[in-house]
């Protein structure tokens, strides 16, 4: 299984490198380190959200409310910053994480305690959270001049050649890698998505695992809300509209099975970078940015077809692997 | 959606059924009808402009187009699948009609193109799900991006207008007095789908697939073919809704009907269709359409902005699903 997964990630890296090389022939300077850093920085928020989404998807759930959560939390943080410019940034970030985690816990609670299917819950909370962003702001915008310079500048401050925003993404990638592969929570997440019945017999509380996956996803959305608002220097009701689908798309492209239990951090990161490279290349090679939506649609469908084939082939091998795992454990 | 079936099969079968009267009284449809009546009364108390034949007729436009799709979506959800691309199909069909109108195609041609594009999109979804056996929820998230993306490529930030005058009838015409063509079409579709689901062999197969698609296969139900037809029907109804909506608005933008997929799913679930598949009625969906129409119209009369209404729609969705679950819990707790 690891061999197949590895090949999946190698394949995706290969495609991304080929794409960058191809675009570089059409547009000079596309493959230059400076531009690649820009692309990575531009994709940082998507990477973080895709990892959050991946954790939820691993447990056989889906969180469609991440973008709405981001919009609400971003609005709350921006308004707090505008109203109380003296509050330290750390406090605002903690607040963003807290509000995000709270909204995520509402999803998690409904999924865990009431056992409502995650897609229904998050479809509902998606409209509720974005509506609440409107109620909170009254439809008004928080513009750059209302925010404090520290609030705006920290994520774009260069540090060792990369902006802080990119470092945050790298830290999240490493943290998630550790969380998913080296902790009991990570193993439970894989188990409760891979085979819920077996997970129950193994003593894993699936509901609680899902709950914490949603809380984590919410907290990440909260973190991204601050990054998003400070990066684009504006907060309004419609920010990140439709971004939840991008995060799902990044996961699907990265080989994370929508049926749960299969996927790796590297896959989610590569899936995000894939979308990020396309998004940054379109204007450079003279394709209308309006084409981006259709392209991601095609990519999602192709990725799903590809995933389904890979999973169909894998069936037997998983069983054997599990058996050996249990024997050694 | 297929993965949830594993949890869904553990239905509680009661030792004895209630009397026919109590069963009808406790049914979801009757409860929902009560809610509709309450909302109706609350609305007429809250605003003096509510109880007016012309106003109420206008209110029906809030839900007729969505409800037409909801009927097909109900069948799809009962069969354990879902289609999130319906709003994008509206956008693509509308764009195709707009382009055709620019080229001078007449009303009949426009309707054919709108419905045709809808059917084609449905066939595309159906092929991916039933032939390639992909999970419908991701597939339709992908096609949602694709269909609306094509509209964006064609239109960008522009809009199509200039539809022929006779084309306006589908969205703005009236059969007689205050009864609009759309409302008539809504009632017709309700009747057709009710017969299809509740009185035909095909309808029974839809239920069987939703309850246990494994058993359905062994009972000789052509599972893949039925699912394909359901996606085709959903595409068809989206095409029809697109004709009505485009005719009513008189213009096409790529963002037309944005977010409708959520409202359609909400309507279906509110109508008592189990999101896990296998249960639900068309009557429930019809009442749910009225409930949602009345809520949005009543709030509109009270000057509540659209995005705040969406909060109510979201809450309605979650509460209507949570309440029966809570009620069952309480009943079980009191028994033990």
Please give the backbone phi and psi of residue A267, each rounded to the nearest 5 degrees, phi first: -60, -50
CB of A108 closer than 8 Å to CB of A89: no
DSSP class per residue in A46-108: HHHHHHHHHHHHHTT---TTHHHHHHHHHHHHHHHHHH-TTS-HHHHHHHHHHHHHHHHHHHH
Residues of B with Cβ-Cβ distance to A54 under 8 angstroms: none
Question: CATH number, domain at B179?
Answer: 1.10.3470
Mean pLDDT of B135-147: 90
Find the CB nearest B138 among A197, A258, A294: A258
pLDDT given at position B298:
83
pLDDT greater than 50 at residue B293? yes
Residue % of chain A over a pLDDT of 70: 92
In angstroms, what separates the C-alpha of A140 from chain B's closest C-alpha? 13
| For residues B234-252, average pLDDT | 95
Read off the tokens for A311: 């999973």
Q: Above 70 in pLDDT, residue B13?
A: no
Per CB-CB distance under 8 Å, the chain B contacts of A298 are: 142, 146
Please determine, for residue B103, whether its predicted confidence score (pLDDT) is greater than 50: yes
Is the distance from CB of A103 to CB of A47 less than 8 angstroms?
A: no
Mean per-residue pLDDT, A302-327: 61
Q: Do A308 and B133 touch (CB under 8 A)?
A: yes
Which of the pair, A220 or B320, is modelled with greater confidence? Answer: A220
Residue A320, pLDDT score: 45
As for how many domains chain B has, the answer is 1
Contact A131/B308, CB-based, under 8 Å?
Answer: yes
CA dihedral in degrees (B100, B103, B108, B114; nearest 10)? 0
**A259 closest CB neighbour out of B135, B144, B150:** B135
Lowest mean pLDDT among B26-30, B79-83, B112-116, B141-145: B26-30
Long-range contacts of A192-198 (CB under 8 A, 24+ apart): A192/A59, A192/A60, A192/A260, A192/A261, A193/A57, A193/A58, A193/A59, A193/A60, A193/A259, A193/A260, A193/A261, A193/A262, A194/A260, A194/A261, A194/A262, A194/A318, A195/A261, A196/A60, A196/B6, A196/B7, A197/B6
Residue A77 pLDDT class (50, 70, 90 cuts): very high
Instruction: Supply the pLDDT for residue B213.
Output: 86
Q: Comparing B6 with A88, which gets the higher pLDDT?
A: A88
Q: Contact at 8 Å (CB) between A60 and A298?
A: no
Contacts of B276 in chain A (CB under 8 A): 117
Of A114, A127, A248, the CB nearest to B311: A127
The answer to whether B72 and B59 have CB atoms below 8 angstroms apart is no
- Identify the domain containing residue B161 by its residue range: 2-6+20-330
CA distance B120 to chain A (A): 16
Give the domain ranges of chain A: 2-328
pLDDT at B130: 92
Burial of B26 (C-beta count, 10 Å sphere; 0-12/13-18/19+): exposed
Give the gap in angstroms from C-alpha A123 to the nearest C-alpha of chain B: 7
Report if residue B336 sits inside a domain: no
> Residue B138: CA atoms inside 13 Å, Cβ hemisphere, count?
35
Query: Which pLDDT score is estimated for B9?
Result: 43
Testing the interface with B: which of A65, A113, A117, A283 to mutate, by most B Cβ within 10 A?
A117
Q: Is the pLDDT of residue B201 over 60?
A: yes
Distance between CA atoms of residues B157 and B160, nearest Å:
10
How confident is the model at residue A327, as a pLDDT? 46
Report the DSSP beta bridge partners of residue A159. Answer: A162
A196:B135 CB<8 A: no
Whole-angstrom CA distances from A12 to A72, A164, A273, A281 are 34, 26, 10, 17
Q: Would you say how long chain B is, in residues?
A: 336
Q: Is B99 exposed, middle or buried (0-12, 13-18, 19+ CB in 10 A)?
A: middle
Which residues on chain A are in Cβ contact (under 8 Å) with B311? 127-128, 131-132, 135
Contact B153 A294 (CB under 8 A): yes
Of B145, B147, B152, the CB nearest to A300: B145
- Shortest distance between the Cα of A89 and any Cα of chain B, in A, equals 31
Query: What pLDDT is attached to residue B4?
Result: 40
- pLDDT, residue B12, reads 57
Q: Given an 8 Å threshold on Cβ–Cβ distance, is A252 in contact with B138?
A: yes
Q: Which residues contact A197 (CB under 8 A, 6 or more apart)?
A: B6
Distance from CA of A124 to the nearest CA of B (A): 4
Q: pLDDT band at residue A312, thresholds of 50, 70 and 90?
A: low
Please report which confidence band the pLDDT of residue B318 belongs to, taking 50, 70 and 90 as the band edges: confident
| Tens-digit pLDDT profile for residues B151-160 | 999 998 889 9
Which of A131, A132, A135, A195 is the mutation pick for testing B, counting most B CBs within 10 A?
A131
Tell if the CB–CB gap between B305 and A139 is shorter than 8 Å.
yes
List, for residues A131-167, the tens digit of each pLDDT value. Answer: 999 999 888 888 888 888 888 888 888 888 889 899 9
Residues A290, B322: C-beta atoms closer than 8 Å? no
Place of tokens 């999109």: B121
Residue B316 lies in a domain: yes
Nearest residue in chain B measured CA to CA from A256: B138
Lowest mean pLDDT among A172-186, B221-235, B282-296, B322-336: B322-336
Enumerate the residues of chain B whose CB falls inside 8 A of the CB of residue A300: 138, 141-142, 145
Kindly tell me if the per-residue pLDDT of B6 is higher than 80: no
The answer, yes or no, to whether residue B1 has pLDDT greater than 80, is: no
**Do residues B203 and B78 lie in contact, with contact meaning Cβ atoms separated by under 8 Å?**
no
Q: What is the CATH number of domain A2-328?
A: 1.10.3470
Tell me the chain B residues in contact with residue A135 when contact means C-beta distances shorter than 8 Å: 308, 311
Mean pLDDT check: name the lowest of A82-96, A174-188, B224-238, B297-311: B297-311
Which of B156, B305, B318 lies at the smallest CB-CB distance from A124?
Answer: B318
In a domain, B58, yes or no: yes
Q: Per residue in A234-273, pLDDT tens?
A: 889 888 887 888 898 899 889 888 888 889 999 999 999 9
Do the Cβ atoms of B265 and B274 come closer than 8 Å?
Answer: no
CB atoms B275 and A290 under 8 Å: no
Under a CB-based contact definition with an 8 Å cutoff, are residues A69 and A129 in contact? yes
Contact A168, A103 (CB under 8 A): no
User: Is pLDDT at A315 greater than 60 in this prediction?
Assistant: no
**Which of A297, A306, A312 should be substituted to probe chain B, the one whose Cβ sees the most B Cβ atoms within 10 Å?**
A297
Determine if the pTM surpasses 0.90.
no
């Amino acid at each position: 299984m690891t061999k197949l997964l590895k090949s999946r990630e190698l394949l995706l890296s290969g495609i991304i490198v080929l794409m960058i090389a191809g675009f570089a022939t059409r547009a000079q300077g596309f493959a230059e380190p400076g531009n690649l850093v820009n692309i990575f920085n531009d994709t940082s928020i998507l990477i973080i959200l895709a990892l959050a989404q991946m954790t939820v998807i691993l447990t056989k759930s889906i969180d469609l409310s991440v973008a709405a959560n981001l919009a609400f939390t971003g609005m709350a943080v921006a308004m707090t910053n505008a109203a109380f410019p003296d509050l330290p940034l750390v406090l605002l970030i903690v607040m963003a994480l807290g509000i995000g985690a709270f909204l995520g816990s509402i999803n998690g609670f409904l999924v865990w305690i009431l056992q409502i299917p995650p897609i229904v819950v998050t479809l509902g909370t998606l409209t509720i959270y974005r509506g609440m962003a409107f109620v909170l702001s009254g439809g008004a915008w928080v513009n750059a001049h209302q925010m404090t310079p520290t609030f705006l500048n920290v994520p774009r401050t260069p540090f060792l050649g990369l902006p802080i925003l990119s470092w945050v993404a790298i830290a999240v990638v490493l943290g998630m890698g550790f969380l998913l592969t080296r902790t009991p929570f990570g193993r439970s997440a894989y188990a409760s998505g891979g085979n819920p019945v077996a997970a129950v017999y193994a003593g894993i509380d699936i509901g609680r695992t899902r709950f914490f996956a949603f809380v984590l996803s919410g907290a990440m959305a909260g973190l991204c809300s601050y990054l998003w608002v400070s990066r684009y220097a504006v907060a309004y009701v419609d920010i990140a509209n439709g971004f939840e689908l991008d995060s799902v798309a990044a996961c699907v492209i990265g080989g994370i099975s929508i049926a749960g239990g299969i996927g790796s951090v590297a896959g989610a990161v590569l899936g995000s970078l894939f979308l990020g490279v396309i998004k940054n290349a379109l204007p450079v090679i003279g394709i209308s940015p309006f084409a981006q939506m259709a392209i991601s649609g095609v990519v999602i469908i192709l990725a799903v077809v590809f995933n389904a084939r890979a999973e169909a082939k894998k069936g037997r091998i998983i069983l054997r692997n599990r058996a050996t795992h249990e024997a050694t454990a | 959606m297929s993965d949830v079936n594993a949890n869904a099969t553990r239905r509680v079968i009661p030792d004895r059924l209630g009397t026919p009267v109590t069963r009808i009284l406790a049914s979801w449809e009757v409860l929902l009808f009560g809610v509709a009546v309450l909302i109706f009364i609350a609305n007429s108390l809250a605003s003096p402009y509510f109880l007016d034949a012309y106003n109420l007729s206008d209110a029906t436009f809030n839900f007729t187009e969505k409800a037409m799709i909801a009927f097909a979506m109900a069948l799809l959800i009962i069969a354990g699948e879902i289609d999130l691309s319906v709003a994008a199909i509206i956008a693509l069909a509308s764009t195709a009609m707009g382009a055709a109108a620019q080229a001078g195609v007449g009303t009949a041609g426009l309707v054919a193109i709108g419905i045709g594009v809808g059917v084609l999109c449905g066939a595309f979804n159906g092929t991916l799900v039933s032939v390639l056996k992909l999970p419908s929820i991701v597939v339709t998230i992908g096609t949602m991006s694709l269909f609306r993306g094509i509209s964006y490529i064609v239109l960008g930030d522009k809009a199509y207008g200039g539809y022929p005058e006779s084309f306006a009838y589908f969205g703005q015409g009236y059969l007689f007095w205050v009864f609009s063509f759309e409302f008539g079409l809504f009632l017709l579709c309700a009747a057709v789908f009710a017969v299809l689901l509740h009185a035909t062999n095909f309808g029974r197969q839809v239920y069987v697939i939703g309850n246990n698609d494994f058993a359905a296969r062994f009972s000789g139900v052509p599972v893949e073919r039925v699912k394909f037809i359901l996606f085709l029907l959903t595409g068809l109804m989206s095409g029809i809704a697109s004709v009505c909506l485009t005719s009513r608005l008189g213009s096409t933008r790529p963002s037309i009907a944005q977010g409708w997929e959520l409202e359609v799913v909400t309507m279906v679930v509110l109508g008592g269709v189990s999101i896990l598949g296998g249960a639900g009625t068309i009557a429930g969906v019809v009442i749910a359409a009225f409930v949602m129409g009345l809520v949005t119209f009543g709030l509109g009369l009270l000057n509540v902005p659209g995005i705040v209404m969406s909060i109510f729609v979201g809450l309605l969705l979650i509460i209507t699903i949570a309440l029966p679950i809570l009620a069952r819990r309480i009943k079980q707790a009191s028994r033990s």
